């Protein structure tokens, strides 16, 4: 199991790198501004949400400028949503490769996630600049939370990409669920706005612990370790289940691609 898990990164790392580079280049091929869309997309979304929720509704953010508070939620959510939306279609989009070449098929959704991480790093650099401009001090590292999110994202991506190969309407269902999931996660609003009687149910969402953990690490909010540990546990379980189901169904991918 462990050997199979690391096989794409050991024996197929060149293929993984090539597919990742292809994913990055193909996304903005023949577009007018090219790679600037990596920055323009999140900034446009940030400006719209900032106006609506800082001018119209005015959410409390514990003295952190709302645009910074919002960006801290949009960054990880953008990586999560973008990775799943693209990875769900990745096996279908690479059907000719699956039919003709023998390799671990998980390399394909992995390459999509890696390409999205590149976009995430560019957006994170913009976030750092904004924190400096708004004079928000840097607090603790959020690497463990990033790894937790990565395991959760990869596990779901493996399940969705395999399922979409069998049933092509999974991609539409995934997009709908991701839209609903975002509003059930404190991305654009603080967790404190959730009615107390529903908080326990709300915290079952593993992305709640991840988003709240990022903000706690960045803005020196108190850590709520219970939901963070819950998110870590769910992320590991999700990855293991996703990897198992993906490898179990992999043998018929070439027949149905």
What does the pLDDT read at residue 192?
85
Question: Which pLDDT tens digit goes with each residue over 19-57?
Answer: 999 888 777 665 555 566 667 777 777 777 776 666 656
Neighbours of 27 (CB within 10 A): 16
| Whole-angstrom distance, CA of residue 100 vs CA of residue 214 | 42
Q: How far apart are CA 218 and CA 145, in angstroms?
A: 12
pLDDT in tens, 59-82: 777 788 888 999 999 999 999 999
pLDDT above 90: percentage of residues in the chain = 55
- Average per-residue pLDDT for the chain: 88
Place 172 in a pLDDT band, splitting at 50, 70 and 90.
very high
Percent of the chain clearing pLDDT 70 (strictly above):
91
Task: Kindly report, residue by residue over 174-232, the tens digit of the pLDDT.
Answer: 999 999 999 899 998 888 888 888 889 889 999 999 999 999 999 888 889 999 999 99
To the nearest 10 degrees (0 to 180), the angle between helices 206-219 and 225-249 is: 130
Confidence at residue 31, expressed as pLDDT on a 0 to 100 scale: 56
124, burial (CB in 10 Å: exposed 0-12, middle 13-18, buried 19+): middle
């Amino acid at each position: 199991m462990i050997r199979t898990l690391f096989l794409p990164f050991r024996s197929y790392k060149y293929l993984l790198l090539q597919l990742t580079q292809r994913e990055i280049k193909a996304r903005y091929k023949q577009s007018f501004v090219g790679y600037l869309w990596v920055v323009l997309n999140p900034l446009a979304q940030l400006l719209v949400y900032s106006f609506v929720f800082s001018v119209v509704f005015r959410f409390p953010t514990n003295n952190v400028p709302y645009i910074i508070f919002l960006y801290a939620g949009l960054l990880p959510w953008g990586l999560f949503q973008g990775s799943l939306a693209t990875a769900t279609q990745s096996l279908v989009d690479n059907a000719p490769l699956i039919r003709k070449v023998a390799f671990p098929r998980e390399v394909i959704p992995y390459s999509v996630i890696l390409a999205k991480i590149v976009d995430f790093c560019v957006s994170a650099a913009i976030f750092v600049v904004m924190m400096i401009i708004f004079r928000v001090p840097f607090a603790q590292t959020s690497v463990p939370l990033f790894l937790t999110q990565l395991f959760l994202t990869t596990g779901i991506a493996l399940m969705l990409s395999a399922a979409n190969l069998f049933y092509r309407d999974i991609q539409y269902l995934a997009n709908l669920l991701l839209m609903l999931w975002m509003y059930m996660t404190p991305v654009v609003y603080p967790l404190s706005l959730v009615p107390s009687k529903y908080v326990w149910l709300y915290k079952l969402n593993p992305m709640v612990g991840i988003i709240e953990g990022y903000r706690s690490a960045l803005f020196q909010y108190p850590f709520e370790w219970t939901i963070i540990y819950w998110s870590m546990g769910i992320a590991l379980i999700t990855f293991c289940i996703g990897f198992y189901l993906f490898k179990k169904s992999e043998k018929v991918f070439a027949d149905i691609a």
